[in-house]
């Protein structure tokens, strides 16, 4: 058996109705909290009000920072950190999808350190013990951020999307309540659901994988394959929401201890240059090309994945199914309405070379079973265009 490491410090509070425990959980870390969310819309306004009431009833003084945007930026964290300092926040609560939880982590660092969150990216300075504790409450099944040490952030001036990555960014507690996900629309459920699949599968081909990661990852992949297409046609199915929430949590645990590979590095570059592209959409754009590029170098994993996504391949051995993995990915993307290309998002064709260079900024591609050259990366971007 391959040697592996596994570390997970976040306490997981999972199940329907667990949002009611928010007040007592947050009070373990302080009585003054900053609630971090996106701006309220009809689908989320009642959620935000409910959580604020639960916190108030528990005796927690709440300041609400509701300016998080998709692909949160350095400006987002700066404004939120200023409010956290003004409120004298002792704990940060991230309520929402990956953007809100990532912003909460960045704010927890920036509010207590010199400079900006951008100064504490994974290859720069390390956050210290002054980092405020974070309680994450996920309302989508997608990013796994509720159980990871990652805070993804975009610097618009540089057109660069990168991440804080440090054990001090792990949430202290996460609350995963599938009832909060019933109002998530189809156009969010599909890309976040595909992100779950990507996290889990990339963990199986990552150098940091191992027996425990595989156990979690293949369970998550199987749940997504069997549940997401059904959920997209039955958005109010709370049992399907619960299954996807569990898959998301499993996949988040995987990337917290293993990691992601080539598709995620490319997806991050796309999001940095074109913030209107959701993260799950960027992954859907590049996954067929990345699968075609990689499958021969990880036949066991790609063959198993292909048979899960397309049961018609179940009679094949892994090598035979792996050869069909590109088609299996295409098939699944069509089923969930996620067959997309860069041109569908109005990316200028003349920026293909610029994007290819940006795809090699993050080191994720180096953990892929087949590592790309600059020329191969350019070809992958062309294939995805």
Three state DSSP letters for 125-137: CCCCCCCCCEEEE
Structure tokens at 8: 């997970």
Domain boundaries, the chain: 11-181, 186-384
User: How high is the pLDDT of residue 379?
Assistant: 98
Phi and psi at 13, nearest 5°, equal: -110, 100
Would you state the CATH architecture of domain 186-384?
A: Up-down Bundle (1.20)
**Which residues face 92 on adjacent strands?**
34, 134
User: How high is the pLDDT of residue 189?
Assistant: 97
- CATH T-level topology, domain 11-181: Rossmann fold (3.40.50)
pTM for the structure as a whole: 0.96
User: How high is the pLDDT of residue 4?
Assistant: 84
176: left (phi over 0), alpha (psi -120 to 50) or beta: beta
Per-residue pLDDT of the chain in tens (385 residues, 90 and over written 9):
888 888 899 999 999 999 999 999 999 999 999 999 999 998 899 999 999 999 999 999 999 999 999 999 999 999 999 999 999 999 999 999 999 999 999 999 999 999 999 999 999 999 999 999 999 999 999 899 999 999 999 999 999 999 999 999 999 999 999 999 999 999 999 999 999 999 999 999 999 999 999 999 999 999 999 999 999 999 999 999 999 999 999 999 999 999 999 999 999 999 999 999 999 999 999 999 999 999 999 999 999 999 999 999 999 999 999 999 999 999 999 999 999 999 999 999 999 999 999 999 999 999 999 999 999 999 999 999 9
Structure tokens at 178: 């599938």
Query: 197-216 as b/e, with b when 16 or more CB fall inside 10 Å?
Result: bbbbbbbbbbeebbeebbeb
User: How high is the pLDDT of residue 1?
Assistant: 86
């Amino acid at each position: 058996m391959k040697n592996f490491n596994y570390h997970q410090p976040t306490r997981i509070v999972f199940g329907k109705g667990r949002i009611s425990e928010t007040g007592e959980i947050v009070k373990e870390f302080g009585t003054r909290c900053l609630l971090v969310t996106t701006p309220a819309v009809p689908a989320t306004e009642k959620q935000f009000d409910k959580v604020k009431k639960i916190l108030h009833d528990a005796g927690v003084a709440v300041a609400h920072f509701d300016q998080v945007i998709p692909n949160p930026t350095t400006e987002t964290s700066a404004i939120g950190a200023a409010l956290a300092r003004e409120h004298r926040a002792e704990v940060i609560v991230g309520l929402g999808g990956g953007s809100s939880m990532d912003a909460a982590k960045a704010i927890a660092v920036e509010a207590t350190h010199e400079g900006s969150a951008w100064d504490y990216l994974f290859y720069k300075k390390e956050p210290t013990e002054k980092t405020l504790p974070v309680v994450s409450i996920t309302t989508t099944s997608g990013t796994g951020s509720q159980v990871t040490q990652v805070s993804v952030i975009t610097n618009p001036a540089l057109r660069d999307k990168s991440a804080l990555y440090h054990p001090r960014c792990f949430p202290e507690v996460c609350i995963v309540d599938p009832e909060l996900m019933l109002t998530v629309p189809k156009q969010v459920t599909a890309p976040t659901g595909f992100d779950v699949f990507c996290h889990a599968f990339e963990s199986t081909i990552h150098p940091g994988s191992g027996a425990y990661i595989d156990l979690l990852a293949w369970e998550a992949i199987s749940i997504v394959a069997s549940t997401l297409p059904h959920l997209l046609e039955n958005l109010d199915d709370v049992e399907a929401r619960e299954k996807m929430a569990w898959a998301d949590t499993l996949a988040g645990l995987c990337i917290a201890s293993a990691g992601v590979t080539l598709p995620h590095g490319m997806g991050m570059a796309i999001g940095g240059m074109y913030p209107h592209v959701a993260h799950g959409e960027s992954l859907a754009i590049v996954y067929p090309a990345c699968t075609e590029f990689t499958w021969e170098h990880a036949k066991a994993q790609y063959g198993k994945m292909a048979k899960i996504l397309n049961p018609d391949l179940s009679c094949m051995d892994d090598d035979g199914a792996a050869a069909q993995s590109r088609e299996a990915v295409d098939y699944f993307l069509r089923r969930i309405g996620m067959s997309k290309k860069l041109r569908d998002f109005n990316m200028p064709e003349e920026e293909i070379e610029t994007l290819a260079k940006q795809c090699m900024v993050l080191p994720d591609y180096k953990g892929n079973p087949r590592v790309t050259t600059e020329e191969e990366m350019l070809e992958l971007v062309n294939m995805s265009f």
